[in-house]
């Protein structure tokens, strides 16, 4: 094995990347993604403290939910403590039960699969495509025809005997995946759709907001997201029954009574605190400007990287408007083996970069989970590099 070639390549590519990024953001200190607080954050948070309502009851939670439905077009929004909790509840109300299987991509944040595991269901990994990093609908069709059959109105995995109850399409780094291809397939195979739009606030497919295509969708407002509530998430749905159930479960499934403490099922302490919602209300007011800023950053990067042949900058797919949450470089296949050193060199040079997540089917707790062949997942997982993406960098 010749060690020199990759080391030299790593150095060369790192230098080009650092130069391109510096050309865009100058000498600014940078992180991968940090929030921007330039609106009424102080005002609303102070008002919340002054009201005394900082916890699970308060006007900001409802206001936040209303603003979210207004912005996304979803009929209902239920604000919860974080995106993971949103996904957990979304799967439960979609009907996922102990020992079911749920189709998930492997190239996603671990919460996508963990939320399935919390129910005692099994994540079943399926492959993605290189166009939008989303689940590959054509491949999935062939795969489901091969491994499953419809029995008593549900999709059964012929090999494991388990019901394949739901699928969690994930919009990686905020880039919309093609649900128009996926939805008819899910319908045909009787599989419920819970969209993991954790990273996709402000992303649209054909002018429809991500998270509003499936039976339910979830968005995250963690500190590293486009807007933040400290910790927070929301469940979106157009279905009043699912919405009512999700809200009920998020508030310990307490029945509506003026004073008695009666709970109707096993519920959760998942309601978003009012304090966090107050922050969220202020953040949402700035969303259009934040999205503009991130789009400016994309355009600047696009120009700066146009002549670097070793990498390509990810561009929103056709018909899509991406929030460009994390700007994404794809390293050419021939340089895959250099990625680790490139990232180390960039960090050394003061540029925050990171690889995509280790694919979940390679993590110890999921390595024996059911899975289709995952060639594109495996390939992309070695090639993706995220670069500084905060709003306000340009």
Identify the bridge partners of residue 384 per DSSP, sorted by sequence position: 330
Show Cβ contacts of residue 85 under 8 Å, excluding neighbours closer than 6 positions: 233, 250, 268, 270
CA distances 303 to 16, 79, 369, Å, are 13, 38, 42
Of 102, 275, 338, 371, the one binding a copy of itself (CB under 8 A) is 275
> Does residue 41 interact with a copy of itself by CB under 8 A?
yes
CA distances 106 to 91, 109, 290, Å, are 17, 9, 29
Supply the minimum distance, in Å, between the C-beta of residue 99 and a copy of itself: 11
DSSP assignment of 346-363 equals HHHTT---EEPPPPGGGS
- What spatial distance separates the first Cα and last Cα of the chain, rounded to whole Å? 43
Candidates 6-14, 306-314, 326-334, 349-357: pick the segment binding a copy of itself (CB under 8 A): 349-357
Nearest CA to 361 out of 349, 373, 346 is that of: 373
DSSP assignment of 30-94 equals --S------SSHHHHHHHHHHHT--SSSSHHHHHHHHHHHHHH--SEEEEES-HHHHHHHHHHHT
Shorter beta-carbon distance to a copy of itself: residue 372 or 381: 381
Of 154, 190, 355, 378, the one binding a copy of itself (CB under 8 A) is 355
Of 120, 161, 184, 375, the one binding a copy of itself (CB under 8 A) is 120
> Does residue 2 interact with a copy of itself by CB under 8 A?
no
> Does residue 267 interact with a copy of itself by CB under 8 A?
yes
Contact status, residue 200 vs residue 158, Cβ threshold 8 Å: no
Of 174, 273, 370, 388, the one binding a copy of itself (CB under 8 A) is 273
Judging by beta carbons within 10 Å of its beta carbon (0-12, 13-18, 19+), is residue 77 exposed, middle or buried?
buried
Shorter beta-carbon distance to a copy of itself: residue 45 or 243: 45
Show Cβ contacts of residue 153 under 8 Å, excluding neighbours closer than 6 positions: 190
> Does residue 388 interact with a copy of itself by CB under 8 A?
no
Supply the minimum distance, in Å, between the C-beta of residue 142 and a copy of itself: 30
Shorter beta-carbon distance to a copy of itself: residue 237 or 274: 274
Candidates 146-154, 202-210, 257-265, 371-379: pick the segment binding a copy of itself (CB under 8 A): 257-265
Supply the minimum distance, in Å, between the C-beta of residue 110 and a copy of itself: 5
- H helices of 189-337, in order, are 240-250, 274-285, 287-305
Of 30, 178, 276, 286, the one binding a copy of itself (CB under 8 A) is 276
Shorter beta-carbon distance to a copy of itself: residue 47 or 181: 47
Site mask for a copy of itself (CB under 8 A), range 217-246, x = bound: -----xxx---x-xx---------------
Of 59, 141, 252, 337, the one binding a copy of itself (CB under 8 A) is 252
> Does residue 56 interact with a copy of itself by CB under 8 A?
yes
DSSP assignment of 145-193 equals HHHEEEETTEEEETTT--BEEEE--B-GGGPPP-HHHHHHHHHHTT-EE
Site mask for a copy of itself (CB under 8 A), range 78-97, x = bound: ---xxxxx------------
Shorter beta-carbon distance to a copy of itself: residue 5 or 99: 99
> Does residue 265 interact with a copy of itself by CB under 8 A?
yes
Show Cβ contacts of residue 267 under 8 Å, excluding neighbours closer than 6 positions: 248, 249, 250, 251, 252, 253, 254
Summarize as ranges the residues that interact with a copy of itself (CB under 8 A).
34-35, 37, 41-42, 45-46, 49-50, 52-57, 81-85, 98, 109-111, 114, 117-118, 120, 222-224, 228, 230-231, 252-254, 258-269, 271-276, 279, 343, 347, 353-358, 363-365
């Amino acid at each position: 094995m010749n060690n020199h070639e990759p080391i030299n390549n790593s150095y060369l590519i790192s230098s080009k990347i650092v130069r391109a990024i510096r050309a865009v953001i100058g000498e600014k200190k940078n992180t991968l993604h940090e929030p921007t607080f330039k609106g009424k954050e102080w005002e609303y948070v102070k008002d919340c403290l002054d009201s005394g309502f900082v916890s699970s009851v308060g006007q900001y939670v409802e206001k936040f939910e209303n603003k979210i439905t207004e912005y996304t077009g979803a009929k209902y929004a239920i604000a919860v403590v974080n995106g993971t909790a949103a996904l957990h509840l979304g799967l439960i109300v979609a009907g996922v039960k102990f020992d079911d299987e749920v189709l998930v991509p492997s190239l996603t944040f671990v919460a996508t699969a963990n939320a399935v595991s919390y129910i005692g269901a099994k994540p079943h990994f399926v492959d993605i495509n290189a166009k939008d990093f989303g689940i590959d609908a054509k491949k999935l069709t062939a795969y489901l025809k091969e491994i499953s059959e419809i029995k008593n109105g549900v999709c059964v995995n012929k090999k494991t005997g388990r019901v394949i109850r739901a699928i969690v399409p994930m919009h990686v780094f905020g880039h919309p995946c093609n649900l128009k291809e996926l939805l008819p397939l899910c319908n045909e195979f009787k599989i419920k759709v819970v969209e993991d739009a954790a990273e996709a606030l402000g992303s649209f497919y054909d002018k429809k907001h991500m998270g509003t295509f499936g039976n339910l969708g979830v968005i995250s407002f963690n500190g590293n997201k486009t807007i933040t509530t400290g910790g927070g998430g929301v469940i979106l749905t157009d279905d009043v029954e699912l919405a009512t159930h999700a809200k009920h479960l998020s508030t310990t499934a307490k029945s509506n009574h003026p004073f008695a403490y009666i709970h109707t099922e096993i519920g959760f302490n998942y309601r978003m605190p009012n304090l966090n919602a107050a922050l969220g209300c202020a953040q949402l007011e700035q969303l259009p400007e934040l999205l503009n800023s991130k789009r400016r950053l994309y355009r600047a990067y696009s120009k700066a990287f146009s002549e670097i042949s070793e990498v390509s900058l990810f561009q929103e797919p056709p018909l899509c408007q991406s929030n460009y949450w994390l700007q994404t470089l794809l390293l050419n296949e021939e340089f895959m083996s250099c990625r680790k050193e490139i990232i180390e060199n960039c960090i050394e040079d003061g540029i925050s970069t990171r690889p995509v997540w280790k694919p979940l089917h390679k993590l110890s707790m999921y390595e024996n989970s059911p899975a289709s062949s995952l060639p594109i997942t495996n390939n992309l997982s070695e090639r993706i590099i995220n670069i500084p993406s905060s709003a306000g960098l340009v």
